[in-house]
Structure 1
Amino acid sequence: MKLQMLGLCRFSYVGLRGYQVEHASFEERRAYLYAPERLARRWLWFTEVALPGWRAQTDPDFTLVVMTGPDLPEPYLSRLRDLATEIPQLRLELVPPMERHLAACRAAVAPHLDDGADVIGHFRHDDDDAVALDYVARTRADFARVAPLWQEEGKLSLDYARGLMLKMEGGRMEITPRLCHNMGVALTIFLRPDAAETALSFDHSKLAQWMPGVSINRPLMFIRSIHGDSDSGAMGPGTPWQVEPGTEGRLLRERFGLKRGALKELAQRLG
Protein backbone atom coordinates (compact mmCIF):
# COMPACT_ATOMS: atom_id res chain seq x y z
CA MET A 1 0.00 0.00 0.00
CA LYS A 2 1.51 3.30 -1.12
CA LEU A 3 1.22 6.10 1.44
CA GLN A 4 1.85 9.73 0.54
CA MET A 5 2.69 12.04 3.44
CA LEU A 6 1.33 15.47 2.49
CA GLY A 7 1.36 18.46 4.83
CA LEU A 8 0.10 22.03 4.78
CA CYS A 9 1.75 24.96 6.55
CA ARG A 10 -0.01 28.34 6.41
CA PHE A 11 2.41 31.26 6.53
CA SER A 12 0.54 34.53 7.19
CA TYR A 13 -2.15 33.63 4.65
CA VAL A 14 -4.68 36.43 4.16
CA GLY A 15 -7.93 34.50 4.27
CA LEU A 16 -11.04 34.79 6.37
CA ARG A 17 -12.24 32.15 8.81
CA GLY A 18 -10.16 29.16 9.86
CA TYR A 19 -8.45 30.96 12.74
CA GLN A 20 -9.36 31.82 16.32
CA VAL A 21 -8.25 35.42 15.79
CA GLU A 22 -10.79 36.64 13.22
CA HIS A 23 -11.24 39.82 11.20
CA ALA A 24 -14.21 41.33 9.40
CA SER A 25 -12.47 42.06 6.08
CA PHE A 26 -9.46 41.13 3.98
CA GLU A 27 -8.04 44.60 4.60
CA GLU A 28 -8.13 44.14 8.38
CA ARG A 29 -6.70 40.66 8.07
CA ARG A 30 -3.88 41.84 5.80
CA ALA A 31 -2.96 44.72 8.09
CA TYR A 32 -2.76 42.35 11.05
CA LEU A 33 -0.78 39.59 9.32
CA TYR A 34 1.56 41.82 7.34
CA ALA A 35 2.57 44.16 10.16
CA PRO A 36 6.37 44.35 9.76
CA GLU A 37 7.18 43.50 13.38
CA ARG A 38 4.84 40.51 13.34
CA LEU A 39 6.21 39.16 10.06
CA ALA A 40 9.75 39.43 11.40
CA ARG A 41 8.77 37.39 14.45
CA ARG A 42 6.91 34.76 12.44
CA TRP A 43 9.92 34.33 10.18
CA LEU A 44 12.12 33.66 13.19
CA TRP A 45 9.70 31.05 14.51
CA PHE A 46 9.43 29.40 11.10
CA THR A 47 13.14 29.22 10.36
CA GLU A 48 14.49 28.65 13.88
CA VAL A 49 11.85 26.27 15.31
CA ALA A 50 9.71 24.74 12.56
CA LEU A 51 12.14 24.15 9.68
CA PRO A 52 15.01 22.24 11.38
CA GLY A 53 12.85 19.16 11.90
CA TRP A 54 11.63 19.15 8.30
CA ARG A 55 15.11 19.63 6.91
CA ALA A 56 16.42 16.58 8.80
CA GLN A 57 13.59 14.03 8.61
CA THR A 58 14.98 10.50 8.68
CA ASP A 59 12.44 9.60 5.99
CA PRO A 60 12.66 12.29 3.29
CA ASP A 61 9.63 10.97 1.36
CA PHE A 62 7.09 13.68 2.19
CA THR A 63 5.73 16.95 0.83
CA LEU A 64 5.15 20.09 2.87
CA VAL A 65 3.10 22.75 1.10
CA VAL A 66 3.70 26.28 2.39
CA MET A 67 0.63 28.37 1.68
CA THR A 68 0.74 32.15 1.58
CA GLY A 69 -0.63 35.01 -0.49
CA PRO A 70 0.83 36.37 -3.73
CA ASP A 71 1.14 39.79 -2.07
CA LEU A 72 3.23 38.62 0.90
CA PRO A 73 5.64 41.51 1.50
CA GLU A 74 9.29 41.28 0.58
CA PRO A 75 11.74 40.03 1.54
CA TYR A 76 9.62 37.15 2.86
CA LEU A 77 8.09 36.06 -0.44
CA SER A 78 11.53 35.81 -2.05
CA ARG A 79 12.86 34.00 1.00
CA LEU A 80 10.08 31.42 0.76
CA ARG A 81 10.84 30.93 -2.95
CA ASP A 82 14.51 30.38 -2.06
CA LEU A 83 13.56 27.81 0.59
CA ALA A 84 11.35 25.96 -1.90
CA THR A 85 14.35 25.72 -4.21
CA GLU A 86 16.69 24.67 -1.41
CA ILE A 87 14.49 22.07 0.34
CA PRO A 88 13.26 19.34 -2.06
CA GLN A 89 10.17 18.48 0.00
CA LEU A 90 8.91 22.05 0.31
CA ARG A 91 6.35 23.40 -2.16
CA LEU A 92 5.25 27.03 -2.23
CA GLU A 93 1.63 27.80 -3.14
CA LEU A 94 0.46 31.39 -3.59
CA VAL A 95 -3.29 31.43 -2.96
CA PRO A 96 -5.26 34.66 -3.42
CA PRO A 97 -7.37 35.75 -0.43
CA MET A 98 -10.45 33.55 -0.12
CA GLU A 99 -13.39 33.86 2.24
CA ARG A 100 -13.82 30.09 2.46
CA HIS A 101 -10.72 28.94 4.28
CA LEU A 102 -11.18 25.21 3.70
CA ALA A 103 -11.51 25.82 -0.03
CA ALA A 104 -8.27 27.80 0.06
CA CYS A 105 -6.49 24.97 1.86
CA ARG A 106 -7.79 22.48 -0.69
CA ALA A 107 -6.59 24.71 -3.54
CA ALA A 108 -3.10 24.74 -2.01
CA VAL A 109 -2.89 20.99 -1.47
CA ALA A 110 -4.66 19.64 -4.57
CA PRO A 111 -1.80 20.14 -7.08
CA HIS A 112 0.47 17.99 -4.93
CA LEU A 113 -1.71 14.91 -4.47
CA ASP A 114 -0.02 11.74 -5.73
CA ASP A 115 -2.40 10.02 -8.16
CA GLY A 116 -0.52 6.78 -7.64
CA ALA A 117 -0.99 6.71 -3.86
CA ASP A 118 -3.42 4.34 -2.17
CA VAL A 119 -3.78 6.57 0.89
CA ILE A 120 -2.85 10.16 1.67
CA GLY A 121 -1.50 11.01 5.12
CA HIS A 122 -2.62 14.62 5.50
CA PHE A 123 -1.08 16.71 8.24
CA ARG A 124 -1.20 20.36 9.23
CA HIS A 125 1.79 22.20 10.62
CA ASP A 126 1.79 25.64 12.19
CA ASP A 127 4.78 27.79 11.30
CA ASP A 128 5.89 28.04 14.93
CA ASP A 129 5.67 24.37 15.96
CA ALA A 130 8.12 21.49 15.53
CA VAL A 131 7.94 17.75 14.91
CA ALA A 132 10.55 15.15 15.79
CA LEU A 133 13.11 14.11 13.21
CA ASP A 134 11.47 10.69 12.79
CA TYR A 135 7.85 11.87 12.56
CA VAL A 136 7.43 10.78 8.92
CA ALA A 137 9.24 7.45 9.42
CA ARG A 138 7.27 6.52 12.54
CA THR A 139 3.98 7.59 11.00
CA ARG A 140 4.56 5.24 8.08
CA ALA A 141 5.49 2.36 10.36
CA ASP A 142 2.59 2.91 12.76
CA PHE A 143 0.06 3.33 9.97
CA ALA A 144 1.08 -0.06 8.61
CA ARG A 145 0.10 -1.55 11.99
CA VAL A 146 -3.38 0.00 12.01
CA ALA A 147 -4.17 0.13 8.29
CA PRO A 148 -7.15 -2.26 8.63
CA LEU A 149 -8.94 0.42 10.67
CA TRP A 150 -8.47 2.87 7.82
CA GLN A 151 -9.59 0.36 5.20
CA GLU A 152 -12.96 -0.08 6.92
CA GLU A 153 -13.97 3.59 6.72
CA GLY A 154 -11.46 5.38 4.52
CA LYS A 155 -10.70 7.81 7.37
CA LEU A 156 -8.36 7.43 10.33
CA SER A 157 -6.41 9.73 12.65
CA LEU A 158 -3.03 8.87 14.15
CA ASP A 159 -2.00 11.11 17.01
CA TYR A 160 1.35 11.37 18.77
CA ALA A 161 0.48 12.72 22.21
CA ARG A 162 3.83 13.27 23.93
CA GLY A 163 5.17 16.76 23.48
CA LEU A 164 6.73 19.88 24.92
CA MET A 165 4.99 23.21 25.37
CA LEU A 166 7.45 25.97 24.51
CA LYS A 167 6.45 29.31 25.97
CA MET A 168 8.38 32.45 25.12
CA GLU A 169 7.36 35.64 26.84
CA GLY A 170 9.21 38.74 28.00
CA GLY A 171 12.53 37.45 26.67
CA ARG A 172 12.30 34.23 28.69
CA MET A 173 11.78 30.61 27.69
CA GLU A 174 9.77 28.01 29.60
CA ILE A 175 9.38 24.36 28.55
CA THR A 176 6.54 22.26 29.97
CA PRO A 177 6.29 18.51 29.14
CA ARG A 178 2.67 17.53 28.36
CA LEU A 179 0.69 14.57 27.13
CA CYS A 180 -2.01 16.10 24.91
CA HIS A 181 -4.41 14.38 22.55
CA ASN A 182 -5.11 15.68 19.05
CA MET A 183 -3.31 18.98 19.48
CA GLY A 184 -2.99 19.41 15.72
CA VAL A 185 0.80 19.02 15.54
CA ALA A 186 2.21 15.50 14.89
CA LEU A 187 -1.35 14.48 14.01
CA THR A 188 -1.99 12.68 10.71
CA ILE A 189 -5.36 12.24 8.99
CA PHE A 190 -5.40 9.33 6.54
CA LEU A 191 -7.84 9.77 3.65
CA ARG A 192 -8.46 8.23 0.25
CA PRO A 193 -6.73 10.00 -2.67
CA ASP A 194 -10.07 11.18 -4.10
CA ALA A 195 -11.33 12.65 -0.82
CA ALA A 196 -12.36 16.29 -0.93
CA GLU A 197 -11.02 17.00 2.55
CA THR A 198 -7.59 17.91 3.88
CA ALA A 199 -6.24 17.86 7.43
CA LEU A 200 -7.74 21.34 7.94
CA SER A 201 -11.23 20.08 7.10
CA PHE A 202 -11.64 18.55 10.54
CA ASP A 203 -11.63 20.25 13.92
CA HIS A 204 -8.71 18.41 15.50
CA SER A 205 -10.33 18.63 18.94
CA LYS A 206 -13.44 16.77 17.73
CA LEU A 207 -12.04 14.12 15.41
CA ALA A 208 -14.10 11.32 16.96
CA GLN A 209 -17.15 12.82 15.24
CA TRP A 210 -15.79 11.80 11.84
CA MET A 211 -13.37 8.89 12.17
CA PRO A 212 -11.72 6.30 14.39
CA GLY A 213 -8.48 7.39 15.98
CA VAL A 214 -5.30 5.89 17.36
CA SER A 215 -3.22 7.74 19.96
CA ILE A 216 0.40 6.80 20.69
CA ASN A 217 2.04 8.27 23.78
CA ARG A 218 5.68 7.49 22.97
CA PRO A 219 8.16 8.75 21.91
CA LEU A 220 8.40 12.52 22.34
CA MET A 221 7.13 13.81 19.00
CA PHE A 222 6.21 17.50 19.00
CA ILE A 223 6.87 21.00 20.28
CA ARG A 224 3.96 23.41 20.45
CA SER A 225 4.80 27.08 20.79
CA ILE A 226 2.92 29.57 22.95
CA HIS A 227 3.64 33.30 22.60
CA GLY A 228 2.09 36.68 21.98
CA ASP A 229 1.45 36.03 18.28
CA SER A 230 -0.14 32.61 18.81
CA ASP A 231 -3.57 32.13 17.26
CA SER A 232 -4.40 30.30 20.48
CA GLY A 233 -2.27 31.24 23.46
CA ALA A 234 -3.66 28.59 25.81
CA MET A 235 -1.77 25.42 26.67
CA GLY A 236 -4.99 23.42 26.49
CA PRO A 237 -5.95 20.21 28.28
CA GLY A 238 -3.31 17.61 28.98
CA THR A 239 -1.36 15.62 31.53
CA PRO A 240 2.12 16.50 32.81
CA TRP A 241 5.02 14.12 32.35
CA GLN A 242 8.49 14.37 33.78
CA VAL A 243 11.70 14.87 31.84
CA GLU A 244 14.63 13.15 33.52
CA PRO A 245 16.77 15.84 35.19
CA GLY A 246 19.63 17.04 33.02
CA THR A 247 18.28 15.50 29.81
CA GLU A 248 16.18 18.35 28.39
CA GLY A 249 18.98 19.69 26.21
CA ARG A 250 19.72 16.22 24.84
CA LEU A 251 16.04 15.62 24.05
CA LEU A 252 15.80 18.90 22.15
CA ARG A 253 18.93 18.06 20.17
CA GLU A 254 18.26 14.37 19.46
CA ARG A 255 14.52 14.53 18.88
CA PHE A 256 14.17 17.91 17.13
CA GLY A 257 17.63 19.03 16.00
CA LEU A 258 17.32 22.10 18.23
CA LYS A 259 19.73 23.55 20.78
CA ARG A 260 18.55 24.79 24.14
CA GLY A 261 20.97 27.72 24.05
CA ALA A 262 19.73 28.80 20.63
CA LEU A 263 16.12 28.70 21.83
CA LYS A 264 16.99 30.85 24.83
CA GLU A 265 18.67 33.32 22.50
CA LEU A 266 15.56 33.24 20.27
CA ALA A 267 13.39 34.09 23.27
CA GLN A 268 15.56 37.13 23.93
CA ARG A 269 15.35 38.24 20.30
CA LEU A 270 11.58 37.83 20.30
CA GLY A 271 11.15 39.38 23.73
Structure 2
Amino acid sequence: MRVQMLGLCRFSYVGLRGYQRDHASVSERRTFLYDPARLARRWLWFTTLALPGWLAQTDPDFTLVIMTGPDLPEPYLTRLRGLAARHPQLRLALIPPMDRHLEACHAAVAPHVDPSADVVGHFRHDDDDAVALDYVARARADFATVEGLWRAEGRLSLDHARGLMMRANGPGAQFIPRIAHNMGVALTIFLRPDQPKTALHFNHTRLPLWMPGVAVTRPLMFIRGIHADSDSGDMGPGLPWDIAPDALDRQLALRFGLDRTALNGLGRRLEAGVGAGPSC
Protein backbone atom coordinates (compact mmCIF):
# COMPACT_ATOMS: atom_id res chain seq x y z
CA MET A 1 0.00 0.00 0.00
CA ARG A 2 1.35 3.41 -0.99
CA VAL A 3 1.18 5.82 1.97
CA GLN A 4 1.93 9.46 1.27
CA MET A 5 3.05 11.49 4.29
CA LEU A 6 1.97 15.10 3.83
CA GLY A 7 2.18 17.85 6.43
CA LEU A 8 1.41 21.53 6.86
CA CYS A 9 3.43 24.05 8.85
CA ARG A 10 1.99 27.56 9.11
CA PHE A 11 4.65 30.25 9.46
CA SER A 12 3.00 33.52 10.51
CA TYR A 13 0.22 33.09 7.95
CA VAL A 14 -2.02 36.16 7.81
CA GLY A 15 -5.63 35.03 7.67
CA LEU A 16 -8.67 35.14 9.90
CA ARG A 17 -9.87 32.31 12.12
CA GLY A 18 -7.81 29.19 12.72
CA TYR A 19 -6.08 30.48 15.84
CA GLN A 20 -7.09 30.76 19.46
CA ARG A 21 -6.10 34.44 19.50
CA ASP A 22 -8.69 36.46 17.54
CA HIS A 23 -8.20 39.64 15.53
CA ALA A 24 -10.94 41.85 14.10
CA SER A 25 -9.39 42.32 10.66
CA VAL A 26 -6.68 41.09 8.33
CA SER A 27 -4.81 44.33 8.93
CA GLU A 28 -4.85 43.80 12.69
CA ARG A 29 -3.69 40.20 12.25
CA ARG A 30 -0.88 41.28 9.92
CA THR A 31 0.35 43.91 12.37
CA PHE A 32 0.48 41.30 15.13
CA LEU A 33 2.10 38.48 13.12
CA TYR A 34 4.60 40.64 11.25
CA ASP A 35 5.90 42.51 14.27
CA PRO A 36 9.70 42.38 13.70
CA ALA A 37 10.53 41.17 17.21
CA ARG A 38 7.91 38.44 17.04
CA LEU A 39 9.08 37.25 13.61
CA ALA A 40 12.66 37.07 14.90
CA ARG A 41 11.53 34.91 17.82
CA ARG A 42 9.46 32.62 15.59
CA TRP A 43 12.36 32.16 13.19
CA LEU A 44 14.64 31.25 16.07
CA TRP A 45 12.18 28.62 17.32
CA PHE A 46 11.71 27.28 13.78
CA THR A 47 15.38 26.94 12.95
CA THR A 48 16.55 25.77 16.38
CA LEU A 49 13.79 23.34 17.35
CA ALA A 50 11.48 22.47 14.45
CA LEU A 51 13.64 22.34 11.34
CA PRO A 52 16.52 20.00 12.34
CA GLY A 53 14.26 16.97 12.74
CA TRP A 54 12.61 17.43 9.36
CA LEU A 55 15.92 17.75 7.57
CA ALA A 56 17.22 14.52 9.14
CA GLN A 57 14.22 12.16 8.94
CA THR A 58 15.29 8.52 8.58
CA ASP A 59 12.54 8.13 5.97
CA PRO A 60 12.92 11.08 3.57
CA ASP A 61 9.75 10.21 1.60
CA PHE A 62 7.47 12.97 2.90
CA THR A 63 6.33 16.47 2.03
CA LEU A 64 6.09 19.35 4.50
CA VAL A 65 4.25 22.37 3.10
CA ILE A 66 5.31 25.64 4.72
CA MET A 67 2.38 28.03 4.45
CA THR A 68 2.83 31.77 4.69
CA GLY A 69 1.71 34.93 2.95
CA PRO A 70 3.19 36.41 -0.22
CA ASP A 71 3.93 39.61 1.73
CA LEU A 72 5.92 37.95 4.52
CA PRO A 73 8.59 40.51 5.40
CA GLU A 74 12.21 40.03 4.43
CA PRO A 75 14.52 38.40 5.12
CA TYR A 76 12.14 35.59 6.10
CA LEU A 77 10.46 35.09 2.73
CA THR A 78 13.82 34.76 1.00
CA ARG A 79 15.02 32.38 3.70
CA LEU A 80 11.97 30.16 3.25
CA ARG A 81 12.41 30.18 -0.52
CA GLY A 82 16.01 29.10 -0.03
CA LEU A 83 15.03 26.23 2.27
CA ALA A 84 12.46 24.96 -0.21
CA ALA A 85 14.97 25.19 -3.05
CA ARG A 86 17.59 23.18 -1.16
CA HIS A 87 15.35 20.51 0.37
CA PRO A 88 12.87 18.69 -1.88
CA GLN A 89 10.72 17.60 1.06
CA LEU A 90 9.93 21.26 1.88
CA ARG A 91 7.41 23.08 -0.30
CA LEU A 92 6.56 26.75 0.08
CA ALA A 93 2.91 27.77 -0.32
CA LEU A 94 2.26 31.53 -0.54
CA ILE A 95 -1.43 31.95 0.26
CA PRO A 96 -3.07 35.40 0.26
CA PRO A 97 -5.14 36.29 3.32
CA MET A 98 -8.43 34.37 3.45
CA ASP A 99 -11.32 34.75 5.86
CA ARG A 100 -11.87 31.00 6.13
CA HIS A 101 -8.74 29.42 7.52
CA LEU A 102 -9.55 25.82 6.60
CA GLU A 103 -10.02 26.83 2.97
CA ALA A 104 -6.62 28.51 3.09
CA CYS A 105 -5.01 25.37 4.53
CA HIS A 106 -6.62 23.24 1.85
CA ALA A 107 -5.37 25.63 -0.85
CA ALA A 108 -1.85 25.16 0.50
CA VAL A 109 -1.97 21.36 0.78
CA ALA A 110 -4.17 20.26 -2.14
CA PRO A 111 -1.59 20.78 -4.93
CA HIS A 112 0.75 18.35 -3.16
CA VAL A 113 -1.67 15.44 -2.66
CA ASP A 114 -0.55 12.41 -4.67
CA PRO A 115 -3.71 11.00 -6.32
CA SER A 116 -1.91 7.71 -6.96
CA ALA A 117 -1.43 7.11 -3.23
CA ASP A 118 -3.71 4.63 -1.51
CA VAL A 119 -3.82 6.71 1.65
CA VAL A 120 -2.49 10.09 2.73
CA GLY A 121 -1.07 10.55 6.21
CA HIS A 122 -1.85 14.20 6.93
CA PHE A 123 -0.10 15.94 9.80
CA ARG A 124 0.15 19.44 11.15
CA HIS A 125 3.31 20.90 12.60
CA ASP A 126 3.79 24.15 14.48
CA ASP A 127 6.96 26.11 13.88
CA ASP A 128 7.93 25.87 17.56
CA ASP A 129 7.61 22.07 17.97
CA ALA A 130 9.83 19.12 17.06
CA VAL A 131 9.26 15.53 15.98
CA ALA A 132 11.66 12.63 16.40
CA LEU A 133 13.98 11.69 13.56
CA ASP A 134 11.97 8.54 12.83
CA TYR A 135 8.49 10.07 13.00
CA VAL A 136 7.75 9.50 9.30
CA ALA A 137 9.12 5.95 9.35
CA ARG A 138 7.21 4.98 12.50
CA ALA A 139 3.97 6.56 11.33
CA ARG A 140 4.11 4.40 8.22
CA ALA A 141 5.07 1.25 10.14
CA ASP A 142 2.46 1.72 12.86
CA PHE A 143 -0.25 2.46 10.30
CA ALA A 144 0.52 -0.87 8.61
CA THR A 145 -0.32 -2.70 11.84
CA VAL A 146 -3.77 -1.05 12.18
CA GLU A 147 -4.64 -0.59 8.51
CA GLY A 148 -7.85 -2.57 8.97
CA LEU A 149 -9.29 0.13 11.22
CA TRP A 150 -8.68 2.71 8.50
CA ARG A 151 -10.29 0.55 5.81
CA ALA A 152 -13.53 0.40 7.79
CA GLU A 153 -14.15 4.17 7.59
CA GLY A 154 -11.47 5.72 5.41
CA ARG A 155 -10.34 7.80 8.40
CA LEU A 156 -7.96 7.01 11.23
CA SER A 157 -5.89 9.00 13.71
CA LEU A 158 -2.52 7.71 14.88
CA ASP A 159 -1.30 9.50 17.97
CA HIS A 160 2.35 9.24 19.03
CA ALA A 161 1.68 10.53 22.50
CA ARG A 162 4.97 10.45 24.45
CA GLY A 163 6.69 13.79 24.45
CA LEU A 164 8.45 16.61 26.24
CA MET A 165 6.99 20.01 27.04
CA MET A 166 9.77 22.55 26.62
CA ARG A 167 9.90 25.96 28.22
CA ALA A 168 12.74 28.22 27.12
CA ASN A 169 13.63 31.07 29.43
CA GLY A 170 16.67 33.02 30.59
CA PRO A 171 18.49 30.26 32.52
CA GLY A 172 17.98 27.77 29.68
CA ALA A 173 15.52 25.15 28.52
CA GLN A 174 13.28 23.24 30.92
CA PHE A 175 11.68 19.92 29.91
CA ILE A 176 8.56 18.36 31.41
CA PRO A 177 7.96 14.74 30.30
CA ARG A 178 4.30 14.08 29.45
CA ILE A 179 2.16 11.48 27.74
CA ALA A 180 -0.38 13.80 26.13
CA HIS A 181 -3.00 12.43 23.78
CA ASN A 182 -3.90 14.16 20.51
CA MET A 183 -1.71 17.18 21.15
CA GLY A 184 -1.51 17.99 17.45
CA VAL A 185 2.22 17.32 17.13
CA ALA A 186 3.29 13.80 15.99
CA LEU A 187 -0.38 13.15 15.28
CA THR A 188 -1.22 11.68 11.86
CA ILE A 189 -4.65 11.71 10.23
CA PHE A 190 -4.96 9.04 7.52
CA LEU A 191 -7.45 9.88 4.77
CA ARG A 192 -8.16 8.77 1.23
CA PRO A 193 -6.46 11.00 -1.36
CA ASP A 194 -9.80 12.11 -2.83
CA GLN A 195 -11.01 13.62 0.45
CA PRO A 196 -10.70 17.44 0.32
CA LYS A 197 -9.47 17.78 3.89
CA THR A 198 -6.23 18.25 5.80
CA ALA A 199 -5.21 17.52 9.38
CA LEU A 200 -6.35 21.05 10.27
CA HIS A 201 -9.95 20.20 9.32
CA PHE A 202 -10.24 18.03 12.42
CA ASN A 203 -10.01 19.63 15.85
CA HIS A 204 -7.32 17.47 17.43
CA THR A 205 -8.99 17.68 20.85
CA ARG A 206 -12.21 16.13 19.47
CA LEU A 207 -10.94 13.50 17.05
CA PRO A 208 -13.03 10.61 18.46
CA LEU A 209 -16.14 12.37 17.14
CA TRP A 210 -15.01 11.77 13.56
CA MET A 211 -12.81 8.68 13.41
CA PRO A 212 -11.29 5.74 15.25
CA GLY A 213 -7.95 6.46 16.86
CA VAL A 214 -4.88 4.56 18.01
CA ALA A 215 -2.45 5.87 20.64
CA VAL A 216 1.18 4.75 20.53
CA THR A 217 2.90 5.71 23.78
CA ARG A 218 6.47 4.62 23.00
CA PRO A 219 9.02 5.78 22.03
CA LEU A 220 9.56 9.48 22.76
CA MET A 221 8.24 11.24 19.65
CA PHE A 222 7.74 14.99 20.11
CA ILE A 223 8.80 18.20 21.81
CA ARG A 224 6.22 20.92 22.24
CA GLY A 225 7.43 24.48 22.73
CA ILE A 226 5.58 26.51 25.35
CA HIS A 227 6.28 30.23 25.54
CA ALA A 228 4.72 33.69 25.51
CA ASP A 229 4.13 33.65 21.73
CA SER A 230 2.38 30.26 21.75
CA ASP A 231 -1.15 30.33 20.37
CA SER A 232 -2.02 28.00 23.24
CA GLY A 233 0.35 28.56 26.14
CA ASP A 234 -0.49 25.72 28.50
CA MET A 235 0.48 22.04 28.56
CA GLY A 236 -3.04 20.71 28.56
CA PRO A 237 -4.03 17.36 30.10
CA GLY A 238 -1.55 14.50 30.25
CA LEU A 239 0.31 11.95 32.33
CA PRO A 240 3.77 12.65 33.76
CA TRP A 241 6.63 10.23 33.24
CA ASP A 242 10.14 10.31 34.61
CA ILE A 243 13.50 10.60 32.89
CA ALA A 244 16.91 11.19 34.48
CA PRO A 245 18.79 14.34 33.42
CA ASP A 246 21.63 12.45 31.71
CA ALA A 247 19.13 10.20 29.92
CA LEU A 248 17.24 13.30 28.80
CA ASP A 249 20.35 14.73 27.17
CA ARG A 250 20.94 11.42 25.36
CA GLN A 251 17.34 11.28 24.19
CA LEU A 252 17.49 14.83 22.86
CA ALA A 253 20.48 13.85 20.75
CA LEU A 254 19.38 10.36 19.69
CA ARG A 255 15.68 10.97 19.12
CA PHE A 256 15.74 14.56 17.83
CA GLY A 257 19.31 15.33 16.78
CA LEU A 258 19.26 18.28 19.18
CA ASP A 259 21.97 19.56 21.47
CA ARG A 260 21.07 20.60 25.01
CA THR A 261 23.56 23.48 24.89
CA ALA A 262 21.90 24.90 21.79
CA LEU A 263 18.47 24.62 23.39
CA ASN A 264 19.70 26.38 26.52
CA GLY A 265 21.07 29.06 24.21
CA LEU A 266 17.63 29.44 22.67
CA GLY A 267 16.25 30.43 26.05
CA ARG A 268 19.02 32.93 26.67
CA ARG A 269 18.67 34.51 23.21
CA LEU A 270 14.92 34.85 23.64
CA GLU A 271 15.47 36.50 27.01
CA ALA A 272 18.03 38.87 25.50
CA GLY A 273 15.85 39.83 22.55
CA VAL A 274 17.09 37.21 20.04
CA GLY A 275 19.79 39.23 18.25
CA ALA A 276 21.15 38.18 14.89
CA GLY A 277 19.72 34.80 13.96
CA PRO A 278 20.83 32.17 11.46
CA SER A 279 20.04 32.99 7.84
CA CYS A 280 19.27 29.40 6.76
TM-score clears 0.5:
yes
Deviations 1:216-266 (A, max 9, x none): 000000000000100010010001000134211110000001000000011
Deviation at 1:169, TM superposition (A): 3.0
Q: Distance in 1 between matches of 2:126 and 2:48?
A: 13
Which residue matches 2:188? 188
Which residue matches 1:213? 213
Q: Distance in 2 between matches of 1:63 and 1:159?
A: 19
Deviation at 1:56, TM superposition (A): 0.3
Which residue matches 1:78? 78
Q: Distance in 2 between matches of 1:244 and 1:139?
A: 27
Q: Secondary structure at the match of 2:246?
A: coil
RMSD: 0.7
Which residue matches 2:132? 132
Matched, 1:13 2:13: yes
Which residue matches 1:146? 146
CA contact (8 A) 1:125 1:185 kept: yes
Structure 1 residue identity aligned to 2:154: G
Structure 1 residue identity aligned to 2:128: D
Matched, 1:157 2:157: yes
TM-score w.r.t. length of structure 1:
0.99
Deviation at 1:172, TM superposition (A): 3.5
Structure 2 residue identity aligned to 1:163: G
What are the equivalent positions in structure 2 for 1:1-271 lying under 5 Å apart?
Answer: 1-271=1-271
Contiguous gaps of at least 5 residues in structure 1: none
Deviation at 1:106, TM superposition (A): 0.1
CA contact (8 A) 1:4 1:119 kept: yes
CA contact (8 A) 2:160 2:216 kept: yes
Cα distance change of structure 1 residues 93 and 87 upon mapping to structure 2, 3 Å threshold = same
Structure 2 residue identity aligned to 1:268: R
Q: Distance in 2 between matches of 1:258 and 1:149?
A: 35
Structure 1 residue identity aligned to 2:183: M
Q: Distance in 2 between matches of 1:270 and 1:139?
A: 33
Structure 2 residue identity aligned to 1:104: A
Q: Secondary structure at the match of 2:120?
A: strand
Q: Distance in 2 between matches of 1:228 and 1:171?
A: 16
Q: Distance in 2 between matches of 1:130 and 1:67?
A: 17
Deviations 1:2-52 (A, max 9, x none): 100000000000010010011010000000000000000000011110000
Q: Secondary structure at the match of 1:247?
A: helix
CA contact (8 A) 2:110 2:196 kept: no
Structure 2 residue identity aligned to 1:244: A
Q: Secondary structure at the match of 1:190?
A: strand
Q: Distance in 2 between matches of 1:262 and 1:168?
A: 11
Which residue matches 2:278? none
Q: Distance in 1 between matches of 2:75 and 2:105?
A: 24
Q: Distance in 1 between matches of 2:148 and 2:32?
A: 45
Q: Secondary structure at the match of 2:255?
A: helix
Aligned length: 271
Deviation at 1:196, TM superposition (A): 1.4
Which residue matches 2:274? none
Structure 2 residue identity aligned to 1:248: L
Q: Distance in 1 between matches of 2:36 and 2:245?
A: 40
